[in-house]
Every structure is written in structure tokens, then in C-alpha cells.
């Protein structure tokens, strides 16, 4: 089955940083600021949800590569917004550019790759 996903698709997700999103909670640091792993998860979610409407039932995507910079700390209680743009489609490989911001400005940016999968077949191979 050939899946057509056009480049240029944009995604956007937001959250308010909670203690569960902090480096202290993730174990990736000792301070109570937005954790890099939490930012990466938000970035992946933003990319995933942006392309889901273009996938047939039973298909999804999995993340395979992340290249990001987390440039600024964000405290608990502040809103974080992630925006994605699908910049390349190579058969089942999807490449996104990402920008994460809080209420004061940019906090991170980068690129992320995902692959389109048939979920049932993918799980059978495990």
C-alpha cells in the first residue's frame, strides 16, 4: 500500500510544565525545570499527531532519530508550545523540523525522523 503524505504539514502541541515534566522527576538532572526528555517527548508527539490524519487505519509512525538542542530552562507552571513542519518524505521515512517555545521565547529546536508502520505487522515482529 502506497501512502501519500504531503510535505509542509504543520503540527502544534502545548502543555503547562508540571513537576512530572521536570529534570528532577525524570532523573535527568537535579533541578525542577522542564526536562530535555520531556521536551523530546512533546516534539515526538507533535510530529505524530500532525500526520495521523493522513494514515490509513491500522498504521502509525515510530520515532527513529532525534537531533535537538535544548537551549533554555523553563520553570514549573509555564506553558510550552511545540511546532513541527514535515520537510521531507522518502517513502515511509518522514523528516520534521521542530521549534519549542515557552512564554518567554525559544527553548529548543531540531530535527526528528519517523517511519510509517503497519502497527499489526510491526508488533508481530517483536
Dump pLDDT digits (tens) for 21-48: 999 999 999 999 999 999 999 999 999 9
For the whole model, what pTM was predicted?
0.95
Interatomic CA distance for residues 33 and 8, integer angstroms: 32
Would you call 70 a catalytic residue per the annotation?
A: yes
pLDDT of residue 69: 98
Q: Which domains does the chain have, with CATH numbers?
A: 10-124 (3.10.129.10)
From 13, 22, 44, 61, active-site residue: 44
Residue 121 is predicted with a pLDDT of 96
Tell me the pLDDT band of 1, cut-offs 50, 70 and 90. low
Please pick, among 32, 36, 85, 119, the residue that the annotation labels catalytic: 36
Q: For residue range 66-84, list pLDDT tens digits in order.
A: 999 999 999 999 999 999 9
| 74 among known catalytic residues | no
Catalytic residue among 13, 70, 112, 113: 70
83 as an active site residue: the answer is: no
Q: Residue 2: CB partners within 8 Å, gap ≥ 6?
A: none
Amino acid at each position: 500500500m502506497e501512502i501519500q503524505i504531503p510535505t509542509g504539514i504543520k503540527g502544534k502541541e502545548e502543555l503547562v510544565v508540571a513537576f512530572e515534566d521536570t529534570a528532577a522527576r525524570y532523573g535527568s538532572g537535579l533541578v525542577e525545570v522542564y526536562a530535555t526528555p520531556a521536551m523530546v517527548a512533546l516534539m515526538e508527539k507533535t510530529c505524530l499527531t500532525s500526520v495521523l490524519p493522513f494514515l490509513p487505519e491500522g498504521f502509525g509512525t515510530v520515532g527513529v532519530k532525534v537531533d535537538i538542542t535544548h537551549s533554555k530552562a523553563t520553570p514549573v507552571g509555564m506553558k510550552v508550545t511545540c511546532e513541527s513542519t514535515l520537510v521531507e518524505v522518502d517513502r515511509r521515512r518522514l523528516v520534521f523540523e521542530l521549534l519549542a517555545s515557552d512564554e518567554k521565547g525559544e527553548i529548543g529546536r531540531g530535527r526528528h525522523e519517523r517511519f510509517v508502520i503497519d502497527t499489526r505487522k510491526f508488533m508481530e515482529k517483536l
